[in-house]
Structure 1
Amino acid sequence: MTPFNSNPIGVFDSGIGGLSILKALQKTLPHESFIYCSDSGFAPYGERSDAFIIDRSIAITQQLQQQHQIKALVVACNTATTVAIHILRERFAPMPIIGVEPAIKPALASTANGHIAVLATARTLASAKYQHLLERLKGEARISNVACNGLAKAIENQDDKQIQLLCKTYMAQAQPIGGPPVDTIVLGCTHYPLILDALQAYAPASMRWLDSASAVANQTMSRLNNLDIANRSEAVGSIRFETSGNQAILFSMAERFLGYPQHV
């Protein structure tokens, strides 16, 4: 193992949503160290222009490379993945860069009646990348797309009243009357697993819930092993948190969602 193998992995999101990805990364790669960058000062990305998202994604990646010498990058944001990941891969090659996309393929394997709902930002649902994915899967299932405008922002602001209101609204849209009922819901934004309990309150207990976290963690592990840059140390890795927004909110959510106190 070379010294480079012990370098951290960068993880960034428009805000706190990427903590859902970080949790899976920690579980799958316990010996790796991570730098988590929350760009919550500019969140949510779903309401920003493509040019703005690309500029922020490049700036954050440069910062993570220059200040922390990251060996890999996980773009833990669906919107940044759809808008900017192809540019990041070109600009920062050969560094491995892993993105996220809605877990529709696993949902197809999970559904019993062929009716799936996808909760995501309007930006993700309208993206060429997502539309191309739907086209490839055409005819394999009935997919109901629900644009959850404002939900990521409410999560960022920890506005529980607004979160409850929006969850009720969007879950009603996800379960239309008529035809086979939805039996599988895809959480197509990394923020949404943070409020899974609020969403579940408006769905039957039998509902299946899927997100991309485990798939992203497994893909990251595969890329590290294939490139022989995994950390082979037996020591547990560390985490460092950085944000362009409210540090107290980030630390509070990290403690709440990851299950133990986090420090810079």
Structure 2
Amino acid sequence: MTDFDGDGSRSGRAQQRPVTADDICDLVRRGGPTMVFQPIVDAADLNVVGYEALSRFPTGTACPAEWFDSAAQSGLSGALEGAAVLSALNEAASFPPGMFLAVNLSPAALTDDPLLAEPLRHAARHRRIILEVSERTHIHEIDTVLTRVNDLRGAGVVIALDDVGAGQSGLRQVITVRPEMIKIDAFVTHDIDTDPLRAAIAAGTVTLAEQFGMTVVFEGVESDAELRTVRRLGAHLLQGYHLGRPAPAAHGTTPL
């Protein structure tokens, strides 16, 4: 899940001053963003099966999306996202056995920093690692991205396509990346219990995914009615404030 609101909720946020390249470099030198972890649950029994690592930035600064957008514009995606991934991998050592860790990398970061693959390969030897590639942005340098993705896949990393339903090129990226996991964006999940079109789109995605052996995660489950609906539609995994809020590793690994 790309955390565009900064706290994972649907609420807005006051405008902050723009993030500069100097801000990003300074934060990376200090170890990168703070990481929190949101539980992902099995739709069948609602037990926690893993966590997604989400970035938090200094209080009073811009939201995560603006930090990552600024990094992309400054050619610093690899540096900022890499710092976040390394922090997440280190903190995941405290997770209970059997819990997976999902981390986010943009296509830009995958091409900017080829060295990011090694810590992911190493971590996948000890824990199930899911790499979420965002669907919100068009994939440039597709051959390079696919080479990196396939290399990680060969090392045991599960490839997920994030934010499906929020971007403009969803089907193209599903066909191109061939992920093992599809994460349906909160935009689709929101009011899915009262919106037949959202429900139909989600049901079609589940049918497609199951036909090709892909796991489907519904993001942004924020009410009991949404929960009941996505379970009825065939969700495999679930994520959202109704099921568990992001928390530091010391607090975020307690089963619901």
Higher helix share: 1
TM-score, normalised by the number of residues in structure 2: 0.38
Indicate the structure (1 or 2) with the bigger Cα radius of gyration: 1
